[in-house]
Amino acid sequence: MKKINTTRLSLVLLLFGLLLTVLVKGIGSIIESVNKDAPEESPSLDYHSENISYKTFGTSIPFNYSIHGIDVSKHQQNIDWKQVESMRVKGVKLSFAFIKASEGATRIDENFQKNWRAVGNTRLLRGAYHFFRPIKDPKIQAALFMRQVKLKKGDLPPVVDIENDNRQSTVRICQNLQKFMDIRMHSKSL
Q: Which residues are catalytic?
A: 71, 163
Given the DSSP bridges, would you call strands 59-62 and 51-54 parallel, antiparallel or unpaired? antiparallel
Q: Can you spell out the DSSP letters for 87-146?
A: --BTTB---EEEEEEEETTTEE-TTHHHHHHHHHTSSSEEEEEEE--TTS-HHHHHHHHH
* Residue from 52, 65, 56, 54 nearest 22 by CA: 65
